[in-house]
Amino acid sequence: MLKFDRYLLSEFVQATLATTLVLLMVAFGAVFADVLRDIAEGRFPADMLLPQLGLLFLNWLPIILPLALMLGLMLAVGRLYRDSEMPVLASVGIGPGRLLRPVLGLALPVIAVIAMCSLWLAPWAERVSKEMVNAATRNLLVAGLEPGRFTPIANGGVVFVSRMSTDGTRFERVFIYRQKKDRLDVTTAKGGHLEADADGHRFLVLDDGFEVEGPRQGAARDYRLMRYRSNQAEMPAPKGRYDPDDPRLLSTLRLLTDARPSAKAELHSRIAPPFLALAFALLAVPLARSSPREGRLGRIAMGFLIYLVATMLSLYSIKLITNGKIPTALGQWWLVLPLLALGAWLYFTDGRIRAPRLRGASR
């Protein structure tokens, strides 16, 4: 590789790494807040915080990396224009076409990582995450129960557990207080366990206890006492129902043989990110073209707007494929191929649109 190519490649890599770091920090805040909310609502156990964060990040990489590649290239090329390096290169016959080698030297490895994440790592992470949550739904600790602490339950009320087994599957000496409009309900039990139905709803199965029901205010004798051998109390449902046939959880090879429209939509959603990343990389160079005194924020905003519109159209096309409004064979190619053609045309014309020549114009 020539010294000139190594210089440009180093500039591109540094700007892209810095952009990726900033975007990952922003995404980390959103993912961390989402996981903490699920833990507080009893959907995840606290010890699943780090695994869930890592798995969710793998799902975000096919979204973050194309934007980081585009913005990184725009920042690096924009700096070359701002420091008058590009006009000097143009004066000795080095145009934007000469930048293709270092641009692809950065873009192709990043596109390979995006393809690996989109086609393999992200579906694997989604499947492992759902399996972890599904396996933990029968654990009392996942439901948010802790010995010696009052915990909110579904439909209002609180539950208090005195003792719990070490594996978090059974409990002893429980107290439950619930309110139903103008009446209250107090339930006690000697022990029990947690169960989940096919729809993902979780219930505390209470063994051998008493239930007292009466008014919150009013007649003192309007109370009913019931002794039971078995009773149930609903707990907060886990986040999302686990379905092993969900297209989002299937491998890419299985999606190739799945004829469901939702499976084809998921397949196209995994194929599109690498091609979109290549289109964004080609668009970055002509979009960054500016005069030395021109500000860069407008160019960066335009690039981000193009990325946002393309991403929204990609998500919308997935919905259309799922609903059968777009042929599955067409998929997202109607978006990917024109965007690639536009990026290649703007790259090799340096983003310049020539005015048409008029007939009979004076020479």
Quote the CA–CA distance of 74 and 63 in Å, as a whole number: 18
Closest listed residue to residue 99, CA positions, set 86, 83, 112, 84 = 86
**pLDDT reported for residue 1:** 52
How far apart, in Å, do the first and last CA atoms of the chain sit? 46
For residue 355, being part of any structural domain is answered with no
| Run of H or E including 3 | helix 3-40
Q: Which of 181, 208, 235 is the last residue of a domain?
A: 235
Tokens of 161: 């557990």
Instruction: State whether 26 and 174 are in the same domain.
Output: no
Report yes or no on 272 lying in a domain. Answer: yes
- Do 256 and 162 belong together in one domain? no
In a domain, residue 159? The reply is yes
343 exposure class (CB count in 10 Å sphere: 0-12, 13-18, 19+): buried
Two structure tokens written together for 288 = 């960054």
Q: Residue 197's domain spans which residues?
A: 150-235
What is the total count of domains within the chain?
A: 2
Q: How buried is residue 27: exposed, middle or buried, by Cβ count under 10 Å (0-12/13-18/19+)?
A: middle
The backbone torsions φ and ψ at residue 151, rounded to the nearest 5 degrees and listed phi first, read -125, 130
Note every long-range contact of 124-130, with CB atoms under 8 Å and residues 24 or more positions apart, other chains counting: 124/58, 124/251, 125/54, 125/55, 125/56, 125/58, 125/59, 126/55, 126/59, 126/248, 126/249, 127/249, 128/55, 129/51, 129/52, 129/55, 129/56, 130/240, 130/242, 130/246, 130/249
Is 129 found in the same domain as 27?
Answer: yes
Same-domain check for residues 58 and 190: no
* End-of-domain residue from the set 235, 269, 287: 235
Which residues on neighbouring strands pair with residue 209, listed in sequence order? 189, 228
pLDDT of residue 355: 46
User: Mean pLDDT of successive 10-residue segments in the chain (363 residues)?
Assistant: 81 93 89 80 70 86 93 89 77 73 92 94 88 65 66 70 76 83 82 71 81 74 81 65 78 89 91 94 88 73 92 91 87 92 87 50 46
Clarify whether residues 217 and 301 are in a common domain: no
Last residue of a domain, one of 216, 235, 254: 235
- Taking the C-alpha atoms of residue 82 and residue 19, their distance in angstroms, rounded to an integer, is 19
- For the record, the structure tokens of 36 come out as 């903490």
Whether 327 is covered by a domain: the verdict is yes
d(CA 352, CA 177): 72
> In this structure, what DSSP letter does residue 359 have?
T
In a domain, 142, yes or no: no
Under 8 Å between Cβ of 286 and 96: yes
